Amino acid sequence: MTQQGVRWTADQVLALAPDAASRKAGSRLGAAGPWSEAGSSDEGTVWGLCKGSGSKPYQTVIDIAEPSGPAYKCSCPSRKFPCKHALGLLLLWAGGDGAVPPGQPPDWAEQWIKGRRQRAEEKRTASAPGSASGTADPEAARRRAERRAVRVTAGATELEQRLADLLRGGLAGAEQAGYGLGEETAARMVDAQAPGLAARVRELGAIPASGPGWPVRLLEECALLHLLDQGWLRRELLPDGLADTVRSRVGLPASADGPPVRDRWLVLAQYDTADVKLTTRRIWLYGADSGRTALLLSYGAAGRAPELALPVGLALEAEVSAYPGAGQLRAALGEQFAPPAPTAIRPPGVTTAEAAARYGEALRGDPWLDSVPVTLDRVVPTPDGDSWQLADADADTALPLTPAARARPGLWRLVALSGGAPVKVFGECGHRGFTPLTAWAEGKGEVVQLC
């Protein structure tokens, strides 16, 4: 696990920042001024002393060789993670102008790294002999799962009843009540240990206020919720894959027990969505040899960045294991054999017609799917009234952008990159339209993040 020659770019470093404020603070510290005794080792450790407002400089050390993204330690009191000092030091290192020379780590850095390596080693040896130690009593676990299934079934049955009541009285009433099924129903589903159902019910509540056309959207979502309820209640009759999909959609825990696939995984996109309680980070990977697309999910408490961070545009040699479910793209990152490195790999693209068809096919395995990851080849961002679309350069077809994508600054980066010429765009294609996440100009040229 050596680190020679592979320095990250500033963009990749800044992508690690938990929020805009730390990004800014980090870039301010990305200059030689406040730093002293900085250095980096071949094992992938970067360290330095940063002069802060106090009398004692902060000790910052980063382990970039860590398979699941860099690990940080800083003696500053900040609760942001990584803190601005770690970001600044990485920027300085990424700048590569000799401010962070190779060398031997000082004691305080060495100790931390040693401790980390040791713990990692212990973990590996502990988990290697068998997952037997993990599930101490399979019989107890089975009983727990059964009890939970009973609760979920009760919840699904109740939800069916409430949906029927809603449809009996008419959706028009949902607008007046404000919340068709309401927060209370969502809470019932949480009690029933079906977080997937709870989340859908909550989203249902927001639809009547979502602007023109809401009755159509509300009926669609009610129908899909009904479909999920029915899927759960008759899961024994479903094919295995679909039954797994229903389980994960309802919100039962699953583990990534698919066979590990070793590949050179190109990091296509990384973006966060946040609600009141949770920050969800989505990372799309593309396997250069397997041609597979995989989704890594990681979570952080509200306001905190999830820990897993991978630099977009780089490729990493690693194993990835899929979660169960038909057409399931979600996977877990396993062992990483080399740190992320620059690459010329680009995913192959399709036309807009093929992209729409791909979404349709994916619905067969998972009818609740909102979108599928797709790379479009040779499309031109085109204004269409007050919205935008991605038009095939060589055909008369186009995919409209989703309303959310239209409002993001990434749209303008995409338009500027294209300049009216065809570009390659990776994004999510679904019934709401296309959400561009990453783009490449024709010919050579670096990856441009749009999210």
Partner 1 sequence: MNSPALPADSPAPAAWEELVTTALLGTDRRTPPGCEPGREAPVALLDAAAVETVRRRAGLRPARAAQRPRPAPEDPRPALPPAAARRLAMLLADRPGAAGGGRRGTAPDLMELLPQWLAAANERGFAPPPQALPALLDAARGRTDLRPAALTFAGPRAVWLARLNPDWRFALRATPGAGAALPHLEDAAQVQQLWQEGLFAERVALLSAIRAHEPAAARELLTTTWATERAEDRLMFLDSLRAGLGPEDEPFLEQALADRSRNVRATAAELLSALPESALAARMAVRAGTCVALDHTREAPTITVEAPHECDAGMERDGVVPKAPAGRGERSWWFGQLVEAAPLGAWPRRLGGRTPGEIVALPVADDWQSELHAAWCRAAVRQRNAEWARALLGSPSAPEAGGPGAVSLAERAKLLGTLGSGERAEWVAGFIAMHGLSEAFQLLGMCVVPWSAPLGRAVVDALNIARDAGSYPWSFSGVMGLAERCLDPAEASRLDGLLAVPDEPEDASPGAGGYWAEAFQRLVTTLRLRAAMIEELGTAGPSGGAAPS
Per CB under 8 A, which of residues 255..314 are in contact with partner 1?
none
CA distances from 148 to 50, 313, 422, 444 (A): 51, 42, 52, 53
Cα–Cα distance between 52 and 58 in angstroms, integer?
A: 7
Per CB under 8 A, 8 contacts partner 1? no
Q: What DSSP string describes 297-309?
A: EEEEETTS--S--
Nearest to 184 by CA among 211, 158, 164, 157: 158
Residues in 368-407 at the binding interface with partner 1, rule: CB under 8 A? 380, 382-385, 387, 389, 391-392, 395-400
Residues in 135-164 at the binding interface with partner 1, rule: CB under 8 A? 160, 163-164
- Residue 370: other Cβ atoms inside 10 A: 13
Cα–Cα distance between 30 and 38 in angstroms, integer?
A: 12
Cα–Cα distance between 339 and 68 in angstroms, integer?
A: 9
Q: How many residues bind partner 1 (CB under 8 A)?
A: 84
Among 102, 103, 134, 169, binds partner 1 (CB under 8 A): 169
Among 65, 90, 159, 355, binds partner 1 (CB under 8 A): 355
Q: For partner 1, which is the closer residue by CB, 58 or 112? A: 58
Strands 293-301 and 278-287: antiparallel
* Alpha-helix residue ranges (DSSP H) falling in 30-137: 84-95, 107-127
Phi, psi at 148, each rounded to 5°: -65, -40
Residues in 62-91 at the binding interface with partner 1, rule: CB under 8 A? 91
Per CB under 8 A, 353 contacts partner 1? yes
CB of 284: closest distance to partner 1 in angstroms?
19
Per CB under 8 A, 327 contacts partner 1? no
Side-chain-facing half-sphere of 188: CA atoms under 13 Å: 16
CB of 62: closest distance to partner 1 in angstroms?
19
Asked whether the beta carbons of 449 and 440 are under 8 A apart, the reply is no
Cα–Cα distance between 222 and 22 in angstroms, integer?
A: 41
CB of 212: closest distance to partner 1 in angstroms?
11
Cα–Cα distance between 201 and 162 in angstroms, integer?
A: 11
Question: If residue 160 lies in a helix (H) or strand (E), which one and from where to where?
Answer: helix 138-169
CB of 414: closest distance to partner 1 in angstroms?
8
Per CB under 8 A, 363 contacts partner 1? yes
Query: Which among 292-300, 303-311, 320-328, 427-435 is the span making contact with partner 1, rule CB under 8 A?
Result: 427-435
Residues in 21-60 at the binding interface with partner 1, rule: CB under 8 A? 21, 23-25, 27-34, 51, 53
Query: Which among 137-145, 254-262, 267-275, 359-367 is the span making contact with partner 1, rule CB under 8 A?
Result: 359-367
Strands 341-342 and 314-322: antiparallel
Query: Which among 109-117, 165-173, 188-196, 262-270 is the span making contact with partner 1, rule CB under 8 A?
Result: 165-173
Per CB under 8 A, 124 contacts partner 1? no
DSSP 3-state of 93: helix
Among 101, 129, 409, 443, binds partner 1 (CB under 8 A): 409
Per CB under 8 A, 178 contacts partner 1? no
CB of 38: closest distance to partner 1 in angstroms?
14
Per CB under 8 A, 237 contacts partner 1? no
Among 151, 217, 378, 406, binds partner 1 (CB under 8 A): 217
Q: For partner 1, which is the closer residue by CB, 6 or 308? A: 6
CB of 392: closest distance to partner 1 in angstroms?
7
Q: For partner 1, which is the closer residue by CB, 138 or 211? A: 211
CB of 353: closest distance to partner 1 in angstroms?
5
Residues 6 or more apart from 450 whose CB is under 8 A from it? Answer: 408, 410, 411, 413, 414, 427, 436, 437, 438, 439
Per CB under 8 A, 216 contacts partner 1? yes
